[in-house]
Structure 1
Amino acid sequence: MPETDLKLLIEAAEEAGRIARRFSGPVAQSWDKPDGAGPVTEADLAVNEMLEHELRAARPDYGWLSEESVDNQDRLSAERVFIIDPIDGTRSFIEGSNTWAHSLAIAEKGEVIAAAIFLPMRDKLYTAARGMGAFLNYERIHPTTRADITGASVLAARPTMDRQHWRNAPPAMDRSHRPSLAYRTALVAQGRYDAMFTLRPTWEWDIAAGDLILREAGARTSDRFGAPLVFNNRDPRQKGMVAAGQGIHPKITEALVPEDAVPRI
């Protein structure tokens, strides 16, 4: 990995924040994307345009995968690829909340090697590079060391606690929620919560940056069945995500129903 890759992502994330703050979420133009893919705003597109122009100019040999760009399968033959969510938590942005984030990552042969998650309205910059640790505003972060799943603090949507997803009764965990998946991953890496999980098919751009930040912090990540996350797939969706400290991660994946018994959600 070029030494400047993380610096490139940080500078791009900070510029993304400057652009996004020019828009007022509640009055920014917004519309629904086709096929129930969720909302998009003029801010998402403005940020994406800048990121694609600046990042691809800086690394013309890297592939490109972004929520707001037409997917070009040429990325599959690239050794390295940008995986970008211009604004993660667009609904939160539209509502005028401050819990949306810019999520930027670079993957090499399926593994994320550099990542930045920036919440400009909260002045929180989470960063990581492979083998270099994870940081919040340049201070080292670590996950919790909790080993008991009972009473664990978790970030998850309400439907994930339905009985159908668990081998037995859902564990007695203290559930909270944040609208941005990237922010959820960062909060677990920071040790603010013991775990996060999402059980739906999950877009790579929502979790790629968080995957590295979590692992570099010392947490464990996987899909909902405990398999390692591999990025830049032809279909850029993962089978959900579970992220937690080393002690409770396997307890969560073992408590979930196996792949052959998964319900549709």
Structure 2
Amino acid sequence: MTRTTTHHDDPPEMICDTSAAIDIATAAGELLLRYREALNSADVDPVEFRKGADRSSQEFIARELSNRFRGDAVLSEEAPDSTERLGASRVWIIDPLDGTREFGEAGRSDWAVHVALIENGSLTAGAVALPGLGITHSSKDPIPQFGVVPSSPRVVVSRTRRPEPVMALAHALDAELIEMGSAGAKAMAVVRGDADIYAHAGGQYEWDSAAPVAVAQAAGLHVSRIDGSALHYNQENPWLPDLLICRAEIAATTLEVLNR
């Protein structure tokens, strides 16, 4: 799997954190690929298959973070939460397997592994591994060179859930809809320039978006709640109802339509 590089003029501690996020997300993705190859053809209950994959990735990431950053707190979808993280200066927010449904479907690549770091309330490092594509995006990728936004913007949407605000946005912009699975895969489609807008209004948790947002904002994209307010992480309640990641030049129009 491709590992991204860091900029050498950044502070050494930031390079270390980002490199760790990249390495851990990438290695967890490779572990999941091996797990998928070994069990996907076996006679295994699909629900137990996905749970086992989540658990294996969680255990690997937790072990790596503990070994590398012993004093840091962790917020994860697959581990019990602790209020101790609220007073910690450094908190890793992880999703060991984003898009379990897609992971369980042979041949699908729209699933991800998220690893992000919050320092004193700010996102400072993030990596999103897309193991099915052999790519890991990070907050230290070179800033992409985007082309002109098409007259019909490309909006990534869920295969199964279509919140009314998102569909109203797509209708107002005469958008092209691109169906995709996990939040990380959707966000990285915008980062790569394969889509222009990812708007989510169906409810998420911090681990669904922390790493994708870290990568997206480093790429120069607009990131916010769908009302335009800032995204806050390491909150007592990790529920984060909505999200907007889009090309900066169409952010004002997108927000205006979403808030009519």
User: Which residue in 2 is equivalent to 1:141?
Assistant: 144
Structure (1/2) with the larger helix percentage: 2
Give the Cα separation in 1 of the matches to 2:164 and 2:218. Answer: 31
Deviates more, 1:155-164 or 1:116-125: 155-164
Count of paired positions? 242
User: Which residue in 2 is equivalent to 1:47?
Assistant: 57
User: Which residue in 1 is equivalent to 2:18?
Assistant: 6
User: Which residue in 2 is equivalent to 1:155?
Assistant: 156
8 Å CA contact retained: 2:155, 2:170: no
Label 1:20 to 1:29 Cα distance change in 2 as closer, same or farther (>3 A). farther
Give the Cα separation in 1 of the matches to 2:167 and 2:239. Answer: 19
SS of structure 1 residue aligned to 2:248: coil
8 Å CA contact retained: 1:199, 1:239: yes
SS of structure 2 residue aligned to 1:41: helix
- State the Cα distance separating 1:237 from its structure 2 match: 1.9
Deviates more, 1:158-167 or 1:97-106: 158-167
* TM-score normalised by the chain length of structure 1: 0.82
8 Å CA contact retained: 1:219, 1:246: yes
8 Å CA contact retained: 2:28, 2:57: yes
Q: Does 1:239 align with 2:244?
A: no
Deviates more, 1:15-24 or 1:180-189: 15-24
- State the Cα distance separating 1:109 from its structure 2 match: 2.2
User: Which residue in 1 is equivalent to 2:194?
Assistant: 192
Deviations 1:150-175 (A, max 9, x none): 61111123754637975996432111
Label 1:178 to 1:142 Cα distance change in 2 as closer, same or farther (>3 A). farther
8 Å CA contact retained: 1:153, 1:175: yes
For 2:125, the aligned partner's letter is A
For 2:156, the aligned partner's letter is L
For 2:97, the aligned partner's letter is I
Label 1:168 to 1:195 Cα distance change in 2 as closer, same or farther (>3 A). closer
User: Which residue in 2 is equivalent to 1:83?
Assistant: 93
User: Which residue in 2 is equivalent to 1:256?
Assistant: 258
User: 1:6-25 to 2 correspondence within 5 Å?
Assistant: 6-24=18-36
SS of structure 1 residue aligned to 2:70: coil
8 Å CA contact retained: 1:185, 1:214: yes
Label 1:45 to 1:227 Cα distance change in 2 as closer, same or farther (>3 A). same
Gaps of 5+ in 1: 33-38, 259-265
For 1:141, the aligned partner's letter is P
Identical-residue share of aligned pairs (%):
25
Give the Cα separation in 1 of the matches to 2:123 and 2:86. Answer: 15
- State the Cα distance separating 1:7 from its structure 2 match: 1.2
- State the Cα distance separating 1:187 from its structure 2 match: 1.3
8 Å CA contact retained: 1:103, 1:209: yes
User: Which residue in 1 is equivalent to 2:121?
Assistant: 110
Moved over 6 A (4+): none
For 2:77, the aligned partner's letter is E
8 Å CA contact retained: 1:119, 1:125: yes
Give the Cα separation in 1 of the matches to 2:64 and 2:170. Answer: 49
Deviates more, 1:14-23 or 1:204-213: 14-23
- State the Cα distance separating 1:122 from its structure 2 match: 1.1
Give the Cα separation in 1 of the matches to 2:112 and 2:215. Answer: 14
Give the Cα separation in 2 of the matches to 1:168 and 1:152. Answer: 8
Label 1:100 to 1:247 Cα distance change in 2 as closer, same or farther (>3 A). same
Give the Cα separation in 1 of the matches to 2:252 and 2:199. Answer: 12
- State the Cα distance separating 1:61 from its structure 2 match: 2.1
* TM-score normalised by the chain length of structure 2: 0.84
